[in-house]
């Protein structure tokens, strides 16, 4: 009787020992994993930021050619999903604005580069990234849809059939992205460009 | 030499047909279907699978004597999760387009049933070389299958290979790039492999 009690005590002591060693091993592994990941994030952080910005910078140079660009900051821009706001100069005159607009569709995040002239009229829209594209559509249809935004000003709505006035764009069947999401992104960008045009943006120090 | 090539042939056959968790048990289908629409995405996903399976197998085998039994599975999965996080950071920094396409599905590899399947098989092998062989066989099989699927889906679906347009885009069979097309192709691949198994079974090779 006594010996079985002793055996039970030894067993429970062994179980406790195994539990403590399991927890300790796991904590050590987690600490090492955390250290590896955080140091790698530190090393790659700048490269990731540059890589993510690069498609917008290339699109901006194509859509809004200029001598120099100045990055601007605007208080509520990020909350509206608008980033990388730039004003474009030729010599010392403002020739336009270019911003990046992020919006969400069923296929994931959609990133657009939206450029305007100095008066805030949209000159071009380009898709920077489209998340998971709708494989049944084609990029040619995307281009046809995006070309309708040129020359528009203010809030734009989507027309299912024929376009009634200058504030509407016609839906194109067979696109790789959602037309609603594109419209939403362009409208957000257009609203922020309206503020920048009034001089409400602050220059970001380089 | 003959013996060596025979062993290699057996390993290749095992990895692609007999001991392949993906084909035999249909595990890890989501990453396989998602990443097989383009060859470059498939290459990255395949290499990621090999890396994850290999390093978690090697580390688990190395620590198998010191780590208590209770946390071996947890440790195996933790190593896989950390490996995937490292791979994700590297892809984000150096291949942003690939990250856009498959980034969302990469973490699925670390919790895929294939990992547990591979772990169960490795448990029976006490040496590091044995665990490494099992991981390479499973990962190699995934790599080969995803490459076959991606080649067919990209070439016949989009008319391109590794992003280079070979046939006009409009001649592509677009349904192959959709999930349904991927599933049908996978079914065909499984049927072909099973027919091959039956053939060599009849010939008495196994």
Q: What percentage of residues in chain A have a pLDDT greater than 90?
A: 15
Q: How far apart are CA B149 and CA B48, in angstroms?
A: 17
Check pLDDT > 90 for residue B17.
no
Q: Taking CB atoms and an 8 Å limit, are A29 and B75 in contact across chains? A: yes
Average pLDDT estimate for A61-86: 87
Helix axes B2-13, B128-158, angle to 10 degrees: 60
- Interchain CB contacts (distance < 8 Å): A and B: 66
Q: Check CB contact of B104 with chain A, cutoff 8 Å.
A: yes
Lowest-pLDDT range, A77-81, A157-161, B198-202? B198-202
Which residues of chain B does A51 touch, with a Cβ-Cβ cutoff of 8 Å? 92-94, 96
pLDDT for the residue B8: 63
Q: Taking CB atoms and an 8 Å limit, are B89 and A136 in contact across chains? A: no
Closest CA to B73 of B52, B57, B86, B93: B57
**If you ran DSSP here, which 8-state letter would residue B168 be given?**
-
Which residues of chain B does A44 touch, with a Cβ-Cβ cutoff of 8 Å? 89-90, 92-93
Average pLDDT estimate for A87-103: 89
Among B residues 44-73, those touching chain A with beta carbons less than 8 Å apart: 63, 66-68, 70-71
**Residue B204, SS3?**
coil
pLDDT for the residue B176: 84
Q: Check CB contact of B90 with chain A, cutoff 8 Å.
A: yes
Q: How far apart are CA A55 and CA B65, in angstroms?
A: 49
Nearest CB to A22; choose among B68, B78, B79: B68
Check pLDDT > 70 for residue B177.
yes
Q: How far apart are CA A72 and CA A191, in angstroms?
A: 15
Q: How many CB atoms sit inside 10 A of residue A75's CB?
A: 10
Check pLDDT > 50 for residue B2.
no
Q: Taking CB atoms and an 8 Å limit, are B178 and A136 in contact across chains? A: yes
Check pLDDT > 70 for residue B122.
no
Taking any CB pair shorter than 8 Å as contact, residues of chain A touching chain B are 18-19, 21-22, 25-26, 29-30, 33, 36-37, 40-41, 44, 47-48, 51-52, 54-55, 108, 129-132, 135-136, 138
Backbone torsions φ then ψ of B48, nearest 5 degrees: -60, -45
Q: What percentage of residues in chain A have a pLDDT greater than 70?
A: 89
Q: Taking CB atoms and an 8 Å limit, are B86 and A36 in contact across chains? A: yes
Q: What percentage of residues in chain B have a pLDDT greater than 70?
A: 83
Instruction: Check if the beta carbon of residue B31 is closer than 8 Å to that of residue B145.
Output: no
Average pLDDT estimate for A151-172: 82
Q: Write the DSSP assignment of B67-93 as a string of letters.
A: S-GGGHHHHHHHHHHHHHHHHHHHHHH
Check pLDDT > 70 for residue A112.
yes
Min Cα–Cα distance to chain B from A18, Å: 7
Identify the residue among A135, A137, A139 best suited for mutation to test binding to B, counting B beta carbons within 10 A and taking the highest. Answer: A135
In this prediction, residue A158 has a pLDDT band, given cuts at 50, 70 and 90, of confident
Which residues of chain B does A19 touch, with a Cβ-Cβ cutoff of 8 Å? 70
The Cβ-side half-sphere exposure at A20, using a 13 Å CA radius, reads 6
Identify the residue among A15, A17, A20, A25 best suited for mutation to test binding to B, counting B beta carbons within 10 A and taking the highest. Answer: A25
pLDDT for the residue A13: 77
Lowest-pLDDT range, A54-58, A129-133, B46-50, B94-98? A129-133
Q: Across chain B, what does the average pLDDT equal? A: 79
Min Cα–Cα distance to chain A from B82, Å: 6
Which residues of chain A does B92 touch, with a Cβ-Cβ cutoff of 8 Å? 44, 48, 51-52
pLDDT for the residue B169: 74
Check pLDDT > 80 for residue B50.
yes
Backbone torsions φ then ψ of B101, nearest 5 degrees: -80, -40
Average pLDDT estimate for A182-202: 87
What is the 3-state secondary structure of chain A? CHHHHHHHHHHHHHHHHHHHHHHHHHHHHHHHHHHHHHHHHHHHHHHHHHHHHHHHHHHHHHHCCCCEEEEEECCCCHHHCEEEEEEEEECCEEEEEEEEEEEEECCEEEEEEEEEECCCCEEEEEEEECCCCCCCCCHHHHHHHHHHHCCCCCCCEEECCCCCCCCEEECCCCCCCCHHHHHHHHHHHHHHHHHHHCCCCEECCC
Contacts of B91-97 with C-beta under 8 Å, sequence gap 24+, read B91/B44, B92/A44, B92/A48, B92/A51, B92/A52, B93/A44, B93/A47, B93/A48, B93/A51, B94/A47, B94/A51, B95/B44, B96/A51, B96/A52, B96/A54, B96/A55
In this prediction, residue B27 has a pLDDT band, given cuts at 50, 70 and 90, of confident
């Amino acid at each position: 009787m006594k010996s079985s009690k002793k055996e039970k005590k030894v067993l429970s002591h062994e179980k406790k020992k195994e539990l403590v060693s399991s927890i300790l091993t796991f904590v050590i592994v987690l600490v090492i994993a955390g250290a590896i990941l955080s140091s790698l994030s530190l090393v790659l952080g700048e490269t990731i930021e540059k890589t993510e910005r690069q498609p917008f910078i290339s699109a901006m140079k194509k859509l809004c050619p200029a001598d120099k660009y100045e990055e601007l900051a605007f208080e509520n821009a990020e909350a509206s999903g608008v980033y990388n706001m730039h004003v474009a100069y030729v010599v010392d005159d403002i020739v336009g604005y270019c911003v990046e607009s992020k919006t969400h569709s069923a296929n994931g995040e959609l990133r657009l580069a939206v450029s305007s002239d100095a008066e805030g009229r949209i000159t071009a829209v380009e898709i920077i990234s489209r998340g998971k594209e709708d494989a049944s559509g084609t990029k040619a249809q995307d281009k046809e849809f995006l070309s309708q935004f040129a020359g528009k000003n203010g809030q734009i709505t989507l027309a299912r059939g024929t376009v009634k006035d200058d504030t509407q764009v016609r839906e194109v069947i067979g696109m790789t992205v959602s037309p609603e999401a594109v419209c939403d992104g362009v409208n957000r960008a257009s609203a922020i460009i309206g503020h920048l045009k009034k001089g409400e943006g602050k220059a970001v120090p380089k | 030499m003959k013996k060596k090539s025979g062993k290699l042939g057996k390993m290749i056959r095992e990895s692609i047909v007999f001991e392949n968790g993906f084909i035999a048990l249909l595990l890890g289908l989501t990453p396989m279907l998602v990443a097989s629409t383009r060859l470059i995405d498939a290459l990255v996903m395949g290499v990621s699978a090999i890396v994850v399976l290999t390093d978690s197998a090697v580390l688990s085998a190395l620590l198998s004597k010191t780590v208590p039994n209770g946390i071996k599975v947890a440790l195996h999965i933790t190593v896989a999760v950390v490996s995937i996080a490292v791979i994700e950071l590297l892809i984000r920094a150096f291949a942003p387009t690939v990250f856009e396409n498959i980034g969302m599905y990469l973490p699925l590899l670390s919790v895929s049933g294939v990992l547990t399947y591979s772990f169960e098989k490795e448990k029976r092998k006490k040496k590091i070389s044995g665990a490494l062989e099992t991981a390479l066989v499973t990962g190699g099989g995934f790599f080969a299958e995803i490459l076959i699927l991606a080649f067919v889906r990209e070439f016949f679906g989009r008319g391109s290979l590794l992003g280079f347009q070979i046939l006009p885009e409009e001649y592509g069979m677009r349904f192959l790039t959709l999930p349904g097309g991927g599933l049908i192709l996978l079914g065909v691949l499984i049927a072909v492999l099973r027919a091959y198994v039956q053939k060599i079974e009849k010939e008495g090779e196994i």
